[in-house]
A and B are shown apart, each in its own frame.
Chain A
Amino acid sequence: MKLLSKALNRSVWCVLSLFFAIAFIITLVGEVFIRENENNINYALGINTYTSVTDDTVTDSEYFKSDYYKSDGKTYDDKAMREGSMEISRTAAADGAVLLWNNGNALPLVDGERLSFFGVSCKPKNWFFTGHGSGRVSVTVTDFPDLKAQFESENKFTVNPTLWNSYSNTQAYGMFSPHADDNHYREFSVNEKAWSAVKQAAGNSFAAYGDAAVYFISRTGAEDGDTWYDTSINTNDGNVDDNYLDLTANEKATIEALVQLKDSVFKKVILVLNTGTPFQMKTLSEYDIDACLWVGMGGNASYAAVYDVMSGNVNPSGRLVDTYAYDGDSAPSSVNTGAFEFEQYGGLPTENRSSNAYNHAYIVYQEGIYVGYRYYETRYEDTVTGNGNAKDKAGTVNGKDEWSYSETVKFPFGHGLSYTTFDYTAFDVKPDGDKYVCSVTVKNTGATAGRHTVQIYLQKPYTDYDKQNGIEKAAVELVGYAKTDVIEPGDSRTVTVAVDKYEFKTYDAYGQKTYILEKGDYYLAVGRDAHDALNNILAAKGFDAADGMVDIYGEPVSGDKARARLQHIKADDFTKYSVSPNGERVTNQFSNADINLYRGTSDQSVTYLSRNDWAGTYPKSYYKMQARNRILVKDMQYYTKITADPDAAMPIYDRVTSPTGKLSLIMLKDMEYDHEMWGYLLDQLTWDETVALCGIGNHVISAASSVNSPEVTAHDGPAGVKNDTPAELDTFMAFPCGVLLASTFDDALVQEVGNAFGLEMLHAGVGEIYGTGAGIHRSVYGGRNWEYFSEDGFISGKILAAEVRGLQSKGAIVNIKHLVLNDQEIYRCGVTTWANEQSIREIYLKAFEAAVTEGKANGVMSSLNRIGATWAGKHKGLLTEVLRNEWGFVGLVETDAATGLYMREGGARANAVIAGNDLWLRGTNNASELWGDYKSNATVCAALRESCHRILYTVLHSSAMNGFNSSTRLVYVAPWYYGALTAGQVVTGIFAFLCIGMAVASFVLPVVLGKKKNKGEAQA
């Protein structure tokens, strides 16, 4: 009885009942959650839920082959592939490095020199192999020698070991979010070691390693991490101007000390800048540093490339793809860079930052086309020609009363030195069909062999028509370039660069509302950089040093008119370019992003920067904006009413309609996009497959078993392949960052890098990459500048197209990103972005256009921001009219991470899929989000079917189809966690049942037994 009493302890059974009942309920409810988030869980656990079964193993179904196989001819040789990646990266990183200055031939280093390395960033933990953010690839530093080992690898140099060891290989730099409520802004700190500590630790060793003091300085940037500096935050670094892109107090002290020790201890001081965005030059330029080498972020090959250039193994031939100004704030875009919110608003969707919906933020591209060198060089020309009040102090940030080029720009776009010198002769331009063929003879006049970059610039006429119609013209625009092979001393090469006449057009947003070709004088010029080319043009126009012309060092110069050629266009032609090469009429598509054209901002107006009056139009402060107009408020809502498409027919689902029987995706491999068989194939898709293909895409393109379309694994780019490694490798490969690739000015080389990148994907089984970046360095403070190529759309486009070609040659789906106007990180999730159509088309879309028309890109990532009030993913003008119709894009458009309410709610998705967005980077399987409310809406369903068409077409022509032939069937394999979940349900259910039973018994049995006992006692 006592034992029974103990066994029936009510408290214990009640508590256990509660425990197991809750556990049972959790397993039941958890199943719903797990099924809703299967994609997210699979991504987190690395599970592929489909396997393919192929009966016919004879047919060769390896459509995209590797360049590296083992001796059996079938197995990938991962190690050889990685060596190939390293080799091409090393070449590219070295070819992209830019020698900014080199006084007294301080570089290259001389064999036998003994070196002292300074700076926390000489150690791997503080060297930025890539920038930060989702595009970053985690580098394993044991994959390659560190800087010291690299410099000692050929026994040419010795590195001061005491000094080297005095720098700790622990993370010194800091990256933090100062505004808790705003998770799209970060601050950075460097935490350079104090000079006193460096001297104390290693001062005695300097003399023995005094041939050169090499100081390494690094700066990063990040997704969600603009380097725009909030001066109210103290990072304890003491940066000049509180600007992360200028020297910190300790860096300044170190440089001052090194320069002071020059001659007495160190024979020369060399600076190595490892940054993905222009460093502010005003403080650096105060010091007598002998040489400065910009090396970008070279990925795994960083150290090898730095060594190659500094040792003289490679003669630097990289050229700047951004202007290096004394002060980053001297660019007009900096006035409107930062965090801006509507001053007055009403009726907008609720600001919901925790759900990534920034509905009250805006940014105005008030500078128009004057981004980077287009501003600096145009203003320079106008100071020379006396146009537009160019010398006015508007835009000066150095306290001077007059704007001066040489006090504003330290190094122009295109600048870069070599260990040798090159001379140009016989520059000529000849029309040839749709092109102008520019030729120039380049002679190596120095003593070292090297490559040279030939740059061709165009000046269009700035006409009265332009002034009347709000058209702006930059003084120079890069329109062509070529890179020579290695030219031996004394040798020459005749280099030809074909400039497309298409580059002569201008977008007229307010007059003709299309591209126009204006009459007037056009100049094509060759130059060592943008400034040199402009001086040559000015010389051809009759100006000289007496008019105020200066070279990049501020010295009077008269240019060389023989290096510029006039092309006169006799008459205006407003029709020639009004039809795109794809046969589509070109007209305004972004009027709703122009404050001066959009009806929703008819209560406001903006003055764009104009060379017609620099003084009157240079923005004096950021643009103050309101959001009260009902049209704007309406357009800002997540969902806008769907206009029924009368041509849209309700699709057929889950039915075999093909006369030839059931189709598999692979059977359509050789069929055009518009082939009728696609209709039959799409009829086989179920509704669930349709919404999964379009709507469930968290790092994956979902499989569709009804058509045997495989699951495609996707990862973030653009630095390299993340998360998955090839079978024989357990580390990742980071390729040189976008800026460094662009600085090579070498399309063929970048295509090879793209090819290597594609091989890394192929070997790792990754089919899609979220990259590469093609944003514009609108401001030096852009957090993702390291991922993007340049401040110039032309070279961005050429380099992007080359990389895309390389990647796609290995079957990759490449989501070039972020389309478009996503050039700063602050408030990027939903920020309304305002710009005029000329700047959108000529600056920001140009790179994407080249990637699509020249590179045949098969993927695009729509950006998180709004274009005007409309989210980019549901901007039909952008995704359908421009991207698909004008440019002829054939591929898929995928969102950026769809966490924002404005891009993932069911209504927003319905609008967006009609606009031309195909796929959502989001893993939640929620019927309401996934068009569940539009299941019977023919317009939405027809759009979804077309999106499936695009997605499947893209998958079909990717490496994901390797191994698939007509006999291949796709079989779903339930993830292991479903089995575990069922087991959990059974076990907790049984235990809950037993415990509840015992709990009930603990209440009932004592009563029953007690009654019996009493009865017995009574009877006794």
Chain B
Amino acid sequence: MKIKVPYGALAGVCGVLAFYLTAAVVASFQVLDRIEAETNNHASLFGNWWQTLLFVADILFACGMIAFIVLAVIGRKRSTARISAAVAQQKEVANGEAVIESAE
């Protein structure tokens, strides 16, 4: 049996995480910049390993969100096409049965 992957939900989760990671990247930069300003310096987006990690994770989740949205849309289109085909097939079957019945 083929498992149905909830691409929409995954896109949503990735979106939420990307949102908070973006906020974390910006907030950490602002806080560090404020601290650095005490010695007249400026912070960097990649000044610490964890800032880099946050940034990379942010990018990954943002990409994941986009990818899952695309997959969800493709999946939905395929699903719609499959349903349409099934409906059409059902109609054809129904029509065929009717022809047989009328021939009898």
Interface residues of A (CB under 8 A from B): 10-12, 14-15, 18-19, 22, 26, 40, 44, 133-134, 180, 183-184, 222-224, 354, 356, 698, 829, 864, 896-897, 899, 921-922
Contacts and interface: CB of A to CB of B under 8 A. Distances in A.
B60 interface: no
Closest 8 CB pairs of A and B: A15-B12, A11-B9, A897-B38, A223-B40, A134-B40, A19-B16, A183-B41, A133-B40
A921 B41 contact: no
B34 A44 contact: yes
B39 A354 contact: no
A816 to B, nearest CB: 19
Given A22-B20, A40-B34, A899-B35, A224 B41 contact: yes
B38 A354 contact: no
B40 A18 contact: no
Nearest to B14: A15
Main secondary structure of the interface of B (DSSP, over half): helix
B39 to A, nearest CB: 5
A40 B12 CA distance: 35
26 contacts: A11-B6, A11-B8, A12-B12, A14-B12, A15-B12, A15-B13, A15-B15, A15-B16, A19-B19, A40-B35, A134-B38, A134-B39, A134-B40, A183-B36, A222-B40, A223-B39, A224-B39, A354-B47, A354-B48, A698-B38, A829-B39, A864-B39, A899-B35, A899-B36, A899-B38, A922-B38
Contacts of A134: 38-40
B34 A224 contact: no
Nearest to B47: A354
Interface string B3-30: 0001011001101100110000000000
Interface of B: 6, 8-9, 12-13, 15-16, 19-20, 34-36, 38-42, 44, 47-48
Contacts of B13: 14-15, 18
B42 to A, nearest CB: 8
Contacts of A829: 39
Contacts of A354: 47-48
Given A26-B20, A183-B42, A899-B38, 15 more contacts: A11-B9, A14-B13, A15-B9, A15-B13, A18-B16, A19-B19, A22-B16, A44-B34, A222-B40, A224-B41, A354-B47, A896-B39, A897-B38, A899-B36, A899-B39
A356 B20 CA distance: 29
Contacts of A183: 36, 41-42
Contacts of A896: 39
A158 B37 CA distance: 43
Contacts of B41: 183-184, 224
A988 B79 CA distance: 36
A821 B13 CA distance: 55
Q: Which of A11, A133, A922 has the most CB of B within 10 A?
A: A11
A44 B36 CA distance: 13
A184 B41 CA distance: 8
B62 to A, nearest CB: 15
A572 B41 CA distance: 52
Contacts of B34: 40, 44
Main secondary structure of the interface of A (DSSP, over half): mixed
Contacts of B6: 10-11
Given A897-B39, A899-B38, A10 B9 contact: yes
Nearest to A356: B39
Q: Which of B12, B16, B19, B36 has the most CB of A within 10 A?
A: B16
A876 B36 CA distance: 28
A829 B40 CA distance: 12
Contacts of A40: 34-35
A139 B67 CA distance: 51
A226 to B, nearest CB: 13
Contacts of A15: 9, 12-13, 15-16
Q: Which of B13, B15, B34, B41 has the most CB of A within 10 A?
A: B41
Contacts of B39: 134, 223-224, 356, 829, 864, 896-897, 899
Given A22-B20, A26-B20, A354-B48, A11 B38 contact: no
Nearest to B37: A134
A183 to B, nearest CB: 5
A356 B32 CA distance: 12
A64 to B, nearest CB: 28
A180 B8 CA distance: 42
Contacts of A222: 40
A308 B13 CA distance: 69
Q: Which of B9, B13, B39, B41 has the most CB of A within 10 A?
A: B39
Contacts of A897: 38-39
A223 B47 CA distance: 20
A44 B38 CA distance: 11
A183 B47 CA distance: 11
A133 B41 CA distance: 9
A183 B35 CA distance: 13
Nearest to B46: A180
A864 B39 CA distance: 10
B61 to A, nearest CB: 12
Contacts of A26: 20
A134 B9 CA distance: 49
A420 B93 CA distance: 117
B43 to A, nearest CB: 9
A46 B40 CA distance: 19
Contacts of B15: 15
Contacts of A14: 9, 12-13
A899 B47 CA distance: 15
A24 to B, nearest CB: 12
A352 to B, nearest CB: 11
Nearest to A44: B34
Contacts of B48: 354
A582 B38 CA distance: 36
A698 B34 CA distance: 11
Contacts of B44: 180
Contacts of A184: 41
A15 B35 CA distance: 35
A921 B12 CA distance: 44
B23 to A, nearest CB: 8
B44 to A, nearest CB: 8
A178 B38 CA distance: 20
A742 B41 CA distance: 28
A15 B8 CA distance: 10
A6 to B, nearest CB: 14
Given A222-B40, A354-B48, A897-B38, A11 B16 contact: no
Contacts of B9: 10-11, 14-15
A921 B16 contact: no
Contacts of A356: 39
A864 B8 CA distance: 54
B33 to A, nearest CB: 11
Contacts of B20: 22, 26
A921 B40 contact: no
B13 to A, nearest CB: 6
Q: Which of A12, A26, A183, A829 has the most CB of B within 10 A?
A: A183
A14 B11 CA distance: 12
Nearest to A33: B31
A356 B16 CA distance: 35
A134 B20 CA distance: 33
B51 to A, nearest CB: 10
A656 B60 CA distance: 60
Q: Which of A15, A22, A864 has the most CB of B within 10 A?
A: A15
A285 B39 CA distance: 37
Q: Which of B19, B38, B41 has the most CB of A within 10 A?
A: B38
